Structure 1
Amino acid sequence: MIETIPAALAAAVRRDLTTPVLTWYDDASGDRTELSGATIDNWVAKTANLLVDGVGLGSGDAVAVLLPAHWQTAAVLLGAWAAGLAADLGPDPQPVEVLFTSPERAGTAADWATGDRYATGLLPLAAPLREVPPGFLDYTVEVRGFGDRFVSSAPVDPNDRALAGPIEESHLSVCRAAAERATELGIKSGDRVLVDAGAYPDPADWLLAPLIAGASIVLCANLDPAKVESRAESERVTHRLT
């Protein structure tokens, strides 16, 4: 059994660098973004380097991630876990070193971080914000300046903290819970899973359960019911969470 989240991502990347690990749709904006193993590994590495080399965080530190289901949210979470950091998913995080959120939540969330604060508009093509909230940096702008490869100073241990907050969880306990959740949701290794982000907003469902199970993800925001059948066919979906 896979015992850490970075190990689960590494297994997904190793399966095939060119096939999609996560495909994102937003039926409100028309956005479609496909992340192959190589692409998501690149974003994760850049995010981990941002947190370690840019911010100076170390193993055991925590970041707050107050973002909806989105491919950039996956990059932020997986980057934090690759760096040996714990993620606090809110909704009311304890004060942490670094915060990632949306411009809409920036005003109320700013006090939750003692260090750097990053905002992202979750825009198509990872476009930068037209207006960055005061006291924040634009994640999509800042992260591009960091390296495409991340080398950890020490491997993430199964007993390292993965989730922070009122209830803390280790990588091992998160992976076990994700495997159990995958079974509950009917996700199997090799599946291509279409996920309605509105119905399954928890990263435990839309990200971790498929990742730990060895499945790939088609994550859909503002899912148009009229498009489900054609999308399932075009994306070769084998399982649906709608």
Structure 2
Amino acid sequence: MSGADDVPALLAGGGAAAETDRPLLTYCDDATGERTELSVAALAGWASRTAGLLHEGCGLGAGSRMAVLLPPHWQTAAVLLGAWSAGLSVSFRLAATAGLPAYGPGDDEPLDAVFVSRRRLDDWLENVPDARHRFVLGLTPGTTTMAEVPAGYRDYLAEVGRYSDSLPAYASIGQTDAASVDGTTFREWGSVALETAGMLDLRPGDRLLVDTAEHEHPFKWLLAPLAVGASVVLCANLDPTTVAARAAAEQASHVLG
């Protein structure tokens, strides 16, 4: 993964899966029993719809800035890859930094969009940044829309389904454009993703099992596997005593616990 242009390229069928029907991302939640598998084609569709929501629905693109207050989840992957495919700069708020008043250099400027889970909206209400477009995600099993949507927010699942699962041709995104609001470029993010994959010893065809409670930054659970053509199994509420059995059942070659 060398730059922004590789985001849509990976989702179009490169990198992680020449076989587009094999699982690229599997999400499991031991608390709810959810198990969701997404192939390259399925994740590409969700990312494309998200890009359409941002670009066509909100009028956002290169130079626009958004915050993501979401835990590791298959819908989080769709939001991030869709935002980058549309050329947006992204800022993260991880659980460990929930009390921080700012997101990084330049983050005191107004944001164009924010995506937040319902749980984190409830927990961090006063720390959720203001933005012109605000979306909330219930992150419940399946793709059911929310019965009640908080005032001032739109339900991501209700909105994103209106857009095409084929990625439109947007303005060219340069490798030196900002992928994050602190100015880190797409090229720099790609380099870090490859370095992270190297540290994890990931290779094409590998399958990485991740304990979401321990590894929240998308460099590890999303970008590093994509960068080298590996797939990922995200495990929420994972019982530490069952990690070995889960890894064997998922045919995971690597475990990030």
1:12–1:37 Cα contact (<8 Å) kept:
no
Q: Deviations over 1:125-177 (max 9, x none)?
A: 0222222111000001110111111213223221121111xx32111000001
The question of 1:156 aligning with 2:173 is answered yes
The question of 1:2 aligning with 2:18 is answered no
TM-score if structure 1 supplies the norm length?
Answer: 0.92
Q: How does 1:84-163 map onto structure 2 within 5 Å? A: 84-90=87-93, 92-93=102-103, 94=107, 95-106=110-121, 107-113=125-131, 115-163=132-180
Q: Deviations over 1:187-230 (max 9, x none)?
A: 22211110111111111111111111211000111112343233
More off after superposition, 121-130 vs 37-46: 121-130
Q: Distance in 2 between matches of 1:40 and 1:235?
A: 19
2:16–2:230 Cα contact (<8 Å) kept:
no
Deviating 4+ runs (over 6 angstroms):
none
Tell me what 1:44 maps to. 47
Compute the RMSD of aligned alpha carbons: 1.7
1:13–1:38 Cα contact (<8 Å) kept:
no
Q: Distance in 2 between matches of 1:137 and 1:163?
A: 23
Name stretches of at least 5 consecutive residues in structure 2 with no aligned partner. Answer: none
The question of 1:80 aligning with 2:83 is answered yes
Q: Distance in 2 between matches of 1:108 and 1:119?
A: 15
Q: How does 1:1-242 map onto structure 2 within 5 Å? A: 2-4=2-4, 5-6=6-7, 7-10=9-12, 11-12=14-15, 15-90=18-93, 92-93=102-103, 94=107, 95-106=110-121, 107-113=125-131, 115-164=132-181, 167-242=182-257
How far did residue 14 of structure 1 move? Answer: 5.4
Q: Provide the identity percentage.
A: 43
How far did residue 240 of structure 1 move? Answer: 0.9
Higher relative contact order (CA 8 A, sep 6+): 2
Paired residue total: 239
1:88–1:163 Cα contact (<8 Å) kept:
yes
Q: Distance in 2 between matches of 1:225 and 1:133?
A: 35
1:110–1:117 Cα contact (<8 Å) kept:
no
Q: Distance in 2 between matches of 1:38 and 1:8?
A: 10
Q: 1:141 to 1:84 in 2, by over 3 A?
A: same
